[in-house]
Structure formats: structure tokens, C-alpha cells
Structure 1
Amino acid sequence: MPSHIDRIAVIGAGIAGVTTAYKLIRAGYEVWLFDRHPYPAMETSFANGGQLSASNSEVWNNWTTLLKGMRWMFSPGAPLLIHPQPSWHKLSWLGEFVAAIPSYERSTETTARLAIEARAHLKQMAADEGIAFDCETRGILHVYKSRLDFDHARRVTEILRRAGLNRRAVSASEIRNIEPALEGNFYGGFFTESDFTGDIHKFSNGLADACRRRGIKEMLGHQVLALEAGREGVRVRYRRTDDRGQTAPVEEARFGQIVVCAGVHSRHFAAQLGDRINVYPVKGYSITVNLPEQADRDAAPWVSLLDDDAKIVTSRLGSGRFRVAGSAEFAGFNRDIRSERIEPLIKWCRTHFPTMSTRQCTPWAGLRPMMPDMLPRVCAGSRPGVFYNTGHGHLGWTLSAATADALAALIMESRPASH
């Protein structure tokens, strides 16, 4: 039996890749974890909104979202910004997005079921490995400024209820009781007590530490150049990255299986393996507000919030940090942090938490790997030994623990860990 047959390469060390590697190494496989960065979770899994939110499972595939995107196309600070520059990738993605609109309810329900399952898996991982990640189990509060938006949320709540999620309606006065620090005029809201929050970067690194203890072969700081799948397994060509600009020699290793968890780069790798995974990079922004003074800590909320009108989510990350994230920008692989996209997040903080200082505020932008139907791809490829766990979009933190478990089960069904 070739030595590489039970060796698995996981491409990408974000939240999807690290959770996948962890599940596989616990199942008894020899796992190599590749990433071009020298540390785990340095791209989209670095500074997201922090919410583990089954209550935010509504997919975007509806005409309202599309029309808003068209209307806001020339508004630089809009919550949803589709840059008018055409590309075949963007146009094909938008065409498939429209084609998925009839599946809106079914996709939302599927996502919610997966999110509910994922919460249990993630909590178990954290308990088994002793991972501290600034977890706050205070629920998530969705707030609405108009009756129209509230009524839409009521219809979404019914879909979530069919998936098994309890999300209850709350009045404006109840909103103030749930989160006294929040200021503003709201028509009403919905509160999901079972949702929670945490620092995705801390969790990913804590789980990577657990993988190290269990014997993973870390290939961090290695750029994957090419993938090739054939009858004798999967060949990975890679090169060590060097911050000094020196070119390292190309190396090669063979594996029995490969799992592509490469986020927005998954489309590129899938094409090399003979598959089409139409991930599009949708940029999201966040700010991390440091709370150095007791007055700032008292003024910041502890309950996680989602302002549906502004498309903004928040999480309290321990006593000294407040994360605010939002917006969706279709601009290809551009990672620039644009001031006109950050300013609405800061303004929102000053509006709703006026006594909380935003003097110490760190901006960030990341590219979410989104599929047109908003559902992650957890599947086998067209060639033997090829698998995918990617395309989680804005819910990678929420869904990854469940998709990693499903992917590991799929591999175990295809080839047992021992012979």
C-alpha cells in the first residue's frame, strides 16, 4: 500500500480548513495543513463580526437585495455595493444568484438547520481542547426601525422556526431591557437567546494548537502552486513563502485525498482539479473599538446586535474590545480598506453608543467566499480523492464546525482511516 494513501492535504488554514483538519486528525488520518500565511486564520477568519448566528441564516437570494444593489451602485458608503465594472466571473455569479431566488425559503431553512448543528460541534471542540475565545452566551438581538422591516423579519422567523430555531419578537421597551446601552428609536426586534459570539481568530488558533498536539504536519508559510489529481492520488506542488523576497525551490508531495478549504481561492484550485466551484469574493469590513477606560467599557453593549437597516453586526470580545462589522462589496479580489466603507461603521457607533469613545479603532477588510445560492459546498469532486469544504460566505464562523464534521464523514465513507 503506497505510503501516501491515508495522507490528506487540507488547503487553507482559515476557520473551514482548521476545523476540517481537526476533525480528520481525530479520525486517525495523517493531515498536512497548507496556507501561504505563516499563521492560521490571517485572511477572512481574522476579524469578522464574531456572531455564531443561526438567527442570521436568511440567504440573500431575493429581488429586494438585487434591486438595492442596483440602486446603491453609485453610493460609496452603501451597505451593499456592486461595482459597475463588468467581469465574466461577476456576471455569471449574479446570473446564478438570480436563478437561485425561487429556492430562497428552502435555502434559508437548510442554512438554519446547519447552523443549529454547528453550534453544538463548536462548543464541543472548545470544551474538549480548552479553547478560550472570548465567548459570550448572551444571545443575539436583531433590531428594526420600521414596521415594514419588522414584518419581513416576522416572516423570516417562521422559516427559522421550521428549522428548529426559537427566535422571539420583542418590543421597543424590551430592546432597552435586553441591552440598556443601545440608544435609538426602534419599532421592534427579535431575540435569539441560543445564539452566541466569540473571536474567530482566537478560536482558529486555539484549534490549530490542538492539531499540533495531535501531530498535524503544518505547512504554514507555504504557497500552493498547483494541484493535480489522478489514479495514483493527488499531487501538490508548493513553495515556501519568504518575506525577504527570496525564491524558494518548488517542492512536491503526494496524498491519498485533498480537501480544498481555500476560501475565495477555491475557484482557482477547483479549476485545476477539473471542477467548477463558483465562489465570488464579497468584501466585508469591520472595526475593532478598543475600550481602555472604564467609562467606555460601561458604554459599550454586551449583547450582540444586528441592525438590519444598516446591515451591521456587533460582538463584545471580552471587556476591552467591541467589534462592529458590515457591508458587502462586489469588487473582485480588491482588499483595500476604503475610508468611505469604514466611516459608516464609526458613525453607527457614535449614533447608538454616543458616550463610547471610538478614538482607538482598528479597521479591517476581508473577502467572504460566497456561492451564488449562499450555500457552502461540502462535497466530493469529479476526480478520486478530491473534496471541497468551502463557499460559506458571511457564515463561515457560524457553519464551519458542522461542515467540517460532514466533510470528515464523507471522507471516512469513501476510504476508511485504517486498512
Structure 2
Amino acid sequence: MQVCVLGAGVVGLTSAYYLAKKGFEVTVLDRQPSVALETSFANAGQISPGYSAPWAAPGIPLKAIKWLMQKHAPLKISPEPEMKKLLWMGKMLSQCTEGAYNINKSRMMALAEYSRDQFIGLRKELGIQYDDGQGGTLQLFRKDEQVEAAAKDIKVLRALNVPHQMLTPEQVVVAEPGLASVIDKFKGGLKLIGDETGDCYLFCQSLKAECEALGVQFQFNTDIQSLSVEAGKVRGVFTQHGLQAFDTVLVSLGSYSKELLKACDIDIPVYPVKGYSLTVPITNDAYAPVSTVMDETYKVAVTRLGNRIRAAGTAELAGYNLDLPKSRTETISHVVEDLFGQGCQLSDAEYWTGLRPMTPDGTPVVGATEVNGLYLNTGHGTLGWTMSCGSAAVIADIMAGNNTEVDSTDLAVARY
């Protein structure tokens, strides 16, 4: 069966790999000249199943109001009126109940844990290297109330048997010696032992070669214009070269999936949430992170990638704007300077921005649609790298007509 995968980011690429492994004839289309050149290019570097949680949570509406008044805030909302943005925010706010949060977090963590297991298996099978590390994630708490609030998340972690440790400031320094000189700035931490790190771009470069070895065809510099649907069945994809016929189409276009599907009367509540990152060489290993440190106050992740530091954060609701103003990178720069400033020279940092495809409930959209032969694997938000292998394995099983290894009942667009 001929399958067309739309999108060559980490989600589309892993989907192509798992589909090819099942014997599908796979073609990947992307507008960029190679793989992983948009949202997957310079993300936080975290494979963090233990930190997989929806942004929509009890207390978030009040926190959001406070954040908007702060200089170094994890949330920014552009002042321009936009109906899509307002509608998405309304749907997200409706998910900020305790019941919805528990359901969404459990669903997300189950998929993310499965994905981490798939990563381990794939790494062993292929032997690919991507500045990967298995040092876990350390959620850093600067305030006593953050330590107390972590108790709710720990209940979910225990229920799902996710390995974790609550750490005192002294234990935090044992885990991350580079924080020793700033021990007075935090109250403790939560160590998520099973989390991993890695450079998503390097991973995708290696996986592309593995895909090609399996017969996957790549068509880059291809403008995906619309889907061809007749009598409720997908027939192919229109590009600048005309109609290309396919038996089955998988949409993995991240934030750009929504507009493509709109013409097919499929409405997925995905909004582009803009994020920022910096990458800087390590100059003093004694003051650099060992793995990932997630600063809970600023929602900024600082990750060790080989001899580099990658820091990423900030959620900005600004549509498809890809401007990179200095004012928007100040928060991630502040966190790196505050925690690991002696380990790098920030004047040498390279900055980047990308659009995360967020759903209101935090869970990606993975599964079939009402259009025969049309499938989705999109809407992973900040967790595309974390959930990529798992959601790819799930969609490959669904498309092959197999039972999935993780519950996929509520992952499809039908849940909306």
C-alpha cells in the first residue's frame, strides 16, 4: 500500500520509519530542503515522559494573569485580536479542572512512557547517536509552595509507576553539581529518573538514512497545497507539481495541519504556540548541567547536549509569527545566566524560534479520521520529541489494522 506522510519533522519522520518497517511503501513530502528544519530543529532536547503534563491545570488561569505582569514570564500573549487564538484559549481554559487534568495527564504520560521504551529499543536496534543521554530530568523548585504543589504530580507518577525522587537542595547539588554555587536560590527538586536527552535534529538526520535504507522516498522543497478527497475517500495530495495519487495519507504537519484539514471539514483544535531556544558551547564543565534542569518558576528547560547547553522555553500566543526579538529571548537567557552562567559565555549563544502545535488538552491527535484513508499524527505541543516514537508506533499499528500496544481509544480527533 502506498502511504504519503506529510511533514518531515521528528513526528513525520518516525511515522515514516515505523510504517516502512511494517512493509508500507512510504513517500514523505515536505516544503523544506531536508528533515527537521522547523519545530524539530532546536527544541529543548528533552525526552521527558515523567514531565508530560497538560498546560491546562487547576490554578493556571490565575497564574497566567500574574505571568502577564512579569518581565521574565513563561507566557506571552500578543495583543493583536485573533479569533482562532481566543477560541483556542477558551477551550484550554475549559480543561483547567482537576478531573480533566488527571485524565489528560494520565493519557499523556502513558503515551510518553511507551514512547520512551520505543526510543530505547530503536537506539539499541540501530545504534544511532545524537548527543543522547540517560541522566533524567530535574524539576527545580525555587519556592516552598512549588515543593508542596509537586505532591499532586507525585500521586500520578506513583499511580503510573514512574520512577522519581524528591530531593532536598543538598541532594539536588549531588545530582547536578553545577548548581552548587547557587544552592541558595532553590528549595528542592523532583528527579524524574527515566527521562532522557538528545539532539532531535541529529536524531532525524540519522533516522532519515535508516528510512531510505527501508525504501522510503523523500520529496523535499515540495509545496503541499491541498488534499484530494472524493466520495469520502482520500485520493492523493496536490502540490506545485499537480496531483500525486496515494492510497493513504498521514498528516504530520504540526501547527500547519489545521489549515490543510479545514478544507476536508476536519477541525482539529491545534494552535501554534511559539517557543524560543538558545544553544551555547560549554566553557567550564564544572558549572554546566549534567542532564536536564527544568526551572519550574520560569518554565525553562536547560539541557546538556554533548559539549553544548540548550535552553528552551516561553509560550507565546502570536499566530504564525516567526520573528525573533531579543525581548522574547531574555527569559531563557536569564535562567541560563542565573543557574549556569559560569559554565558558558552567553555572548556566543545562537537563538532560535519555532511553533509548537498545541491542543487544549495537551494530548496529541493520533488516529483515523472520518475520511477513508486519511490519518493524523499531530498536535504534540512541547512533547513532539518526547512522544514521537510512541505515537509513530501507535499510528503505524492503527494504519496496519493491528491492536496498539498502548491505549489509543481517546487519541483520535473524534474525542473533540
Match of 2:225? 225
Q: Does 1:11 align with 2:6?
A: yes
CA contact (8 A) 1:32 1:219 kept: yes
The offset of 1:269, in angstroms, is 1.3
CA contact (8 A) 1:46 1:201 kept: yes
* Deviation sequence 1:86-109 (CA, Å, 0-9, x none): 211111111111222231111111
Query: Take 2:2 and 2:69, find their aligned partners in 1: how far apart are those partners?
Result: 49
CA contact (8 A) 2:255 2:272 kept: yes
Match of 1:275, as an amino acid? I
The offset of 1:66, in angstroms, is 2.3
Q: Which ranges in structure 2 are unaligned for 5 or more consecutive residues?
A: 403-416
Q: 1:159-238 maps to which residues of 2 (within 5 A)?
A: 159-182=156-179, 183-184=182-183, 185-231=185-231, 233-238=234-239
Q: Does 1:374 align with 2:358?
A: no
Equivalent residue of 2:274, what SS? strand
The offset of 1:77, in angstroms, is 4.2
Query: Take 2:174 and 2:66, find their aligned partners in 1: how far apart are those partners?
Result: 36
Match of 2:335? 348
Query: Take 2:146 and 2:286, find their aligned partners in 1: how far apart are those partners?
Result: 30
Q: Does 1:332 align with 2:319?
A: yes
1:317 aligned to 301, 305, 310, which one? 305
CA contact (8 A) 2:273 2:317 kept: yes
* Deviation sequence 1:386-408 (CA, Å, 0-9, x none): 00000000111111111111101
Match of 1:129? 126
Match of 1:242? none
CA contact (8 A) 1:69 1:81 kept: no
Query: Take 1:74 and 1:94, find their aligned partners in 2: how far apart are those partners?
Result: 18
Query: Take 1:80 and 1:400, find their aligned partners in 2: how far apart are those partners?
Result: 25
Match of 1:251? 242
Match of 1:3? none
CA contact (8 A) 2:236 2:248 kept: no
Query: How many equivalent residue pairs?
Result: 396
Query: Take 2:121 and 2:354, find their aligned partners in 1: how far apart are those partners?
Result: 27
CA contact (8 A) 1:69 1:82 kept: no
CA contact (8 A) 2:234 2:371 kept: no
1:408 aligned to 376, 396, 399, which one? 396
Match of 1:43? 38
CA contact (8 A) 2:270 2:358 kept: yes
Q: Does 1:21 align with 2:8?
A: no
Query: Take 2:341 and 2:361, find their aligned partners in 1: how far apart are those partners?
Result: 38
Match of 1:277, as an amino acid? I
Match of 2:353? 365
The offset of 1:35, in angstroms, is 0.5
Give the percent of matched residue pairs that are identical in Structure 1 and Structure 2: 32
CA contact (8 A) 1:236 1:254 kept: yes
Match of 1:392, as an amino acid? H
Greater Cα offset, 44-53 or 227-236: 227-236
Match of 2:251, as an amino acid? V
Match of 1:221, as an amino acid? N
The offset of 1:62, in angstroms, is 2.2
Equivalent residue of 1:173, what SS? helix
Match of 1:264? 255
CA contact (8 A) 2:227 2:234 kept: no
Query: Take 2:364 and 2:134, find their aligned partners in 1: how far apart are those partners?
Result: 25
Q: 1:265-304 maps to which residues of 2 (within 5 A)?
A: 265-291=256-282, 293=283, 296-304=284-292
Query: Take 1:348 and 1:73, find their aligned partners in 2: how far apart are those partners?
Result: 18
Match of 1:403, as an amino acid? S
Match of 2:367, as an amino acid? C
* Deviation sequence 1:64-92 (CA, Å, 0-9, x none): 22223233336564211122322111111
* Deviation sequence 1:258-285 (CA, Å, 0-9, x none): 0000000010111122211121000111
Q: 1:139-158 maps to which residues of 2 (within 5 A)?
A: 139-158=136-155
Query: Take 1:124 and 1:229, find their aligned partners in 2: how far apart are those partners?
Result: 37
- Residues 77 and 189 (structure 1), Cα distance of their counterparts in 2 relative to 1, 3 Å cut: closer
Query: Take 2:165 and 2:50, find their aligned partners in 1: how far apart are those partners?
Result: 10
Equivalent residue of 1:175, what SS? helix
Provide the alpha-carbon RMSD of the alignment: 1.6
Match of 2:412? none
CA contact (8 A) 2:236 2:249 kept: no
Query: Take 2:4 and 2:122, find their aligned partners in 1: how far apart are those partners?
Result: 21
Equivalent residue of 2:224, what SS? strand
Equivalent residue of 1:235, what SS? strand
Query: Take 2:58 and 2:318, find their aligned partners in 1: how far apart are those partners?
Result: 21
